[in-house]
Chain A
């Protein structure tokens, strides 16, 4: 039932990150299995978004694992991952608050954008969708997608500076 209702969306998220239908399918099944085991203890407010985020995390982990294997043991990636693992321990309460503020500011900025631009931004930077796929789905030329996203990024940067967050 979950797969029937949200399978296509989740598969799109996984495919955009992994770039392969087969990998996306496997990732989706893994994520669904995790969700199956998590529910009902987990009672997400928005089931669809919960599914998509779970699939995204699975896909990102799978992507990292794949690149680690391809790069001779993944030393570089592993090092970066090690560094990133230090981040939570270094975070204090203030930084966590700053993080929340930053997220809230980004959300406000995105809410102020027209729907099309907002969707473009989310699809690109949350879902890692390729320019060509975005162009096809949004009925734009690939170049236009890139320019539009560039403008959004500049605006976001200016907004965050204005808010004193950068």
Chain B
């Protein structure tokens, strides 16, 4: 067989293979080949003329769209994996901390978004907020502002966008927590600035009252409830900054510090938070000097809230926490 024969032989290569070879660098898609293969045979025009014109190269838009979609899905999936990974890594299986966090979850369930990505905001929240404002006025000046359409309404609303901002501000002490919840369960973005009222907690004399306050603060005042229920003495030893500093200096990571603290002091003063899960160990009964552990951020922070306007002090004790 000579070259001419081979050339003639190759002329009979499969149609689709030939078209694909020429289309590949122009439109880059098999869809065009299929279109070409199924293109109807044109009828002759009345004029009998055949127009000859250059065909504009088609842009492979579907390829660009597919790449963008893949990147977006990857980013979302990666974020979800990170969130899952953090939770799994930080909360040890069968750890005593589990029960604490389960209680937090239960306590905060009413304030969390639902699995369907919607949030039910009831009049109960409005009533609680109003009550809190009234109660606070008896102990110290409190300014509470709730920015929420649902809170201003007397009816139960279902917020389809599942995005809400609740702001409650105190002049002397505030804490801020924000996070994006897992995409599988909700798309809500909740940001909460809750007020700290340690004095009021310590003045309360019934566990139910403290529980209600804890619920309002999207958490639980575990130590105070334990004190009122007689589980521990009011003068039970409290954590010291030196202890925590020593743990960190000994090379313990966040999880180890958390477990050690819980073993030594099983009743933190406060567990909760909306979005971020905060665990507070107060250094005294005033609650203005305390160690704050934030699970999601893996941070151990010593915070001293100023009551005289000299400024708050934040000292991050473990430098390996997440930003």
A residues with CB within 8 A of B: 1-9, 11-13, 25, 28-29, 32-33, 36, 39-40, 43-50, 52-53, 56-57, 60, 80, 84, 87, 99, 102-103, 106-107, 110-111, 115-116, 118-120, 122-123, 125-127, 137-138
Contacts and interface: CB of A to CB of B under 8 A. Distances in A.
Interface stretch (B38-46, B206-214, B221-229, B235-243): B38-46
Interface of B: 1-2, 4-5, 7, 9-26, 33, 36-37, 39, 41-42, 44-45, 50-57
Contacts of B36: 5-6, 46-49
Contacts of A103: 9, 12-13
Contacts of B25: 119, 137-138
A52 B18 contact: yes
Contacts of A138: 25
A126 B36 CA distance: 19
Contact of A7 (B11, B22, B52): B52
Contact of A46 (B1, B7, B15): B15
B276 to A, nearest CB: 49
B24 A2 contact: no
A84 B2 CA distance: 9
A-B complex: 8 closest residue pairs judged by Cβ atoms: A49-B15, A8-B55, A48-B36, A122-B21, A46-B15, A119-B21, A137-B25, A3-B52
Given A2-B42, A127-B22, 12 more contacts: A1-B45, A3-B50, A4-B55, A5-B39, A8-B57, A13-B22, A39-B41, A48-B37, A49-B16, A111-B17, A115-B24, A122-B20
B311 to A, nearest CB: 61
A40 B24 CA distance: 29
Nearest to B11: A53
A110 B21 CA distance: 11
Nearest to B39: A47
14 contacts: A4-B53, A6-B36, A13-B22, A25-B52, A46-B19, A46-B37, A49-B19, A111-B17, A116-B24, A122-B20, A123-B21, A125-B10, A126-B21, A127-B22
A3 B57 CA distance: 14
A45 B11 contact: no
A32 B51 CA distance: 10
A56 B53 CA distance: 18
Contact of B17 (A3, A32, A110): A110
A36 B43 CA distance: 9
A2 B41 CA distance: 9
A80 B20 CA distance: 32
A33 B196 CA distance: 88
A3 B53 contact: yes
B9 to A, nearest CB: 6
A99 B9 contact: yes
Nearest to B42: A1
A45 B18 CA distance: 14
B52 A106 contact: no
Contacts of B52: 3, 7, 25, 28-29, 32
B13 A126 contact: yes
Given A46-B36, A47-B41, A7 B53 contact: yes
Contacts of A12: 22
A3 B51 contact: yes
B20 A115 contact: yes
A126 B10 contact: yes
